[in-house]
Amino acid sequence: MMALRDALGRLGTRVVVNRMSSSVDVHLCNSAWFNVDLFERAAASGEKVRMIHRVDGPVALYRGTDWAEDEKIQALNSRFASATVFQSSWCFQKMCEHGLEFVRPVIIRNSVDPSVFFPSARISRPASQKLRLMSSAWSDNPNKGGPFYKWLDEHLDWDRFEYTFVGRIHHTFKHIKHLPPQDSNRLADLLRQNDVYITASQNDPCSNALLEALACGLPALYYDQGGHGELAQFGGLPFKENEEALLQLDRLAGNVEMFRQCIHVQSIDEIARKYIELFKTVLDS
């Protein structure tokens, strides 16, 4: 949200944070993480409040819990929203499949801070050099891919690859280099030092980790679920089964530069312009 806030400001939109005021034309709120009491009081007073509601999830799928949190988000949406932003088509589809309806839904994806996540000037990698792989995760939830990364640790050809994992994970690796969570600047530096990004997160609606890797110029090998395919598009290859991942990694390894040239990440300014158009639509309605 901070990168979006800064982009909106660059494009001439005045942005204030956590303020309920008649001077605010449109509120942008995320899932259930906003001060509901402020909106309840405004509604009770008869004040007209316009809210764009950003929704991700379903929480039930990526946390492996029941649907209570998603149903709470939908109830808030029905109560306060003027329009809804889903961060991937997959997210919207899964909510619909569960029977949850949202106010005036549109799809607007996330992006990254371009001052931090950007590609490096690439020098052709010698054929004799190992292909450098990287994965990252803030959470050690198994749905973030930990069991698959452990499987790769046991099955990759380590004469051909080297691998860095950054973040939290329950597993101990024999071959993969494990680094603790890093701040954004250090993480971006590490991404630019590698060749291919691997993500096996499950039910991930719009993976910031994948977006950051793509923005740093790394084609992706990604688990074919959630919003990964929408983000990677032609800048990577999907897999569904562990053994298939090895075959797809071989394809990537032989064509890294071609896949790198196919990466397209919408800039944060492009994303901000879409929000501004939605703000205008809500104000005109």
pLDDT (tens digit, 9 = 90+) per residue, 154-212? 999 999 999 999 999 999 999 999 999 999 999 999 999 999 999 999 999 999 999 99
Alpha carbon separation from 234 to 117, 252, 271 (Å, rounded): 19, 11, 20
pLDDT at 58: 93
pLDDT digits (tens, 9 = 90+) for 22-60: 789 999 999 988 999 999 998 888 888 899 999 988 989
- Count: domains in the chain: 2
DSSP lists the bridge partners of residue 191 as: none
Does 121 reside within a domain? Answer: no
9 token code pair: 């400001």
**Which residues are CB-neighbours of 24 under 8 A, at least 6 positions away?**
16
Say if pTM beats, i.e. exceeds, 0.85: yes
Same domain for 99 and 158?
no
257 within some domain: yes
**Which residue's structure tokens are 């004469």?**
159
**Are the C-beta atoms of 231 and 206 separated by less than 8 Å?**
yes
Domain co-membership, 168 together with 201: yes
Domain that holds residue 198: 131-261
pLDDT on residue 198: 98
Kindly state the tokens that stand for 111. 């992006």
Per DSSP, helices labelled H in the chain are 2-10, 36-44, 59-63, 68-80, 89-97, 146-155, 184-192, 208-215, 228-232, 242-254, 256-261, 268-284
pLDDT-based confidence at 91, cuts 50/70/90? very high
Average pLDDT across the chain, whole number: 94
- Regarding whether 208 and 88 lie in a shared domain, the answer is no
Whether residue 154 sits in one domain with residue 250 = yes
Q: Is 107 helix (H, G, I), strand (E, B) or coil?
A: strand
- What are the residues whose beta carbons fall under 8 Å from the beta carbon of 154, sequence distance 6 or more? 174
For 140-167, what is the mean pLDDT?
96
Three-state secondary structure call for residue 87: coil
**Cβ burial, residue 36 (10 Å; 0-12/13-18/19+):** middle
Higher pLDDT, 63 or 69: 69
Please indicate, yes or no, whether residues 72 and 170 belong to a single structural domain of this protein: no
The answer, yes or no, to whether residue 124 has pLDDT greater than 70, is: no
Running DSSP on this structure, what letter comes out for residue 111?
A: -
Does 254 lie in the same domain as 136?
yes
**Cα angle value 56/89/60 (rounded, 5°):** 40
137 and 104 in a common domain:
no
Distance CA 158, CA 175 (A): 8
- Would residue 118 count as lying in a domain? no
Q: Which residues contact 185 (CB under 8 A, 6 or more apart)?
A: 116
Report residue 127's pLDDT band, with 50, 70 and 90 as the boundaries: low
Any residues with CB less than 8 A from the CB of 209 and at least 6 apart, and which? 136, 137, 138, 199, 201
Q: What pLDDT was estimated at residue 204?
A: 94
Residue 169 CB neighbours (<10 A): 23
Is 84 a domain residue?
yes
Average pLDDT over residues 232-246: 97
Start-to-end CA distance of the chain, whole Å, equals 25
Residue 123 lies in a domain: no
Same domain, 163 and 201: yes
Residue 193 domain-assigned? yes
